[in-house]
Homo-oligomer: A and B are copies of this chain.
Amino acid sequence: MKNKAAPHITVAIDCIVFGFDGSDLKLLLVKRGFNPEMNKWSLMGGFVNEDESVDDASTRILNKLTGLHGVYLEQLHTFGAVKRDTTERTISIAYFALIDIAKYKQQLSHDYHAEWFPIKNVPSLIFDHDAMVEEAKKRLQYKAALHPIVFELLPEKFTLPQIQSMYDAIYEVNFDKRNFSRKLLSTGLLIKLNEKDKAGSKKGAFYYMLDKEKYNENLYKIFSLIITPDHLQFL
Q: Give the B-binding residues of A (Cβ under 8 A).
A: 1-3, 6-12, 34, 46-55, 57, 75, 77-82, 85, 87-91, 93, 142, 145-147, 219-220, 223-224, 227, 229, 232-233, 235
* Whole-angstrom distance between the Cβ of A220 and the nearest chain B Cβ: 4
Q: Establish whether residues A51 and B82, one from each chain, have CB atoms under 8 Å apart when the complex forms.
A: yes
List chain B residues, Cβ under 8 A from A46.
1
Q: Give the number of times this chain occurs in the complex, counting copies.
A: 2
**Among the interface residues A47, A81, A85, which one has the most CB atoms of the partner chain B within 10 A?**
A47
Q: Establish whether residues A7 and B220, one from each chain, have CB atoms under 8 Å apart when the complex forms.
A: no
Once the chains are docked, how many angstroms separate the CA of A85 from the CA of B3? 10
* Whole-angstrom distance between the Cβ of A182 and the nearest chain B Cβ: 17
List chain B residues, Cβ under 8 A from A47.
1, 3, 6-7
Once the chains are docked, how many angstroms separate the CA of A224 from the CA of B227? 8
Q: Establish whether residues A54 and B80, one from each chain, have CB atoms under 8 Å apart when the complex forms.
A: yes
Q: Establish whether residues A91 and B1, one from each chain, have CB atoms under 8 Å apart when the complex forms.
A: no
For the complex of A and B, list the 8 residue pairs with the smallest distance between their C-beta atoms, beginning with the closest. Answer: A54-B80, A8-B8, A220-B232, A6-B47, A7-B50, A78-B78, A53-B81, A220-B235
20 inter-chain pairs at a CB distance below 8 angstroms, sorted by A residue, are A1-B34, A1-B46, A3-B10, A3-B47, A3-B87, A6-B47, A7-B47, A8-B9, A9-B9, A9-B48, A11-B11, A11-B80, A50-B89, A54-B91, A75-B78, A80-B93, A142-B142, A146-B146, A147-B235, A220-B229
* Whole-angstrom distance between the Cβ of A79 and the nearest chain B Cβ: 8
* Whole-angstrom distance between the Cβ of A133 and the nearest chain B Cβ: 17
Q: Establish whether residues A48 and B146, one from each chain, have CB atoms under 8 Å apart when the complex forms.
A: no
Q: Establish whether residues A146 and B235, one from each chain, have CB atoms under 8 Å apart when the complex forms.
A: yes
Once the chains are docked, how many angstroms separate the CA of A77 from the CA of B74? 10
Nearest B-chain residue to A35, judged by Cβ: B2
Once the chains are docked, how many angstroms separate the CA of A100 from the CA of B108? 52
Q: Establish whether residues A77 and B80, one from each chain, have CB atoms under 8 Å apart when the complex forms.
A: no
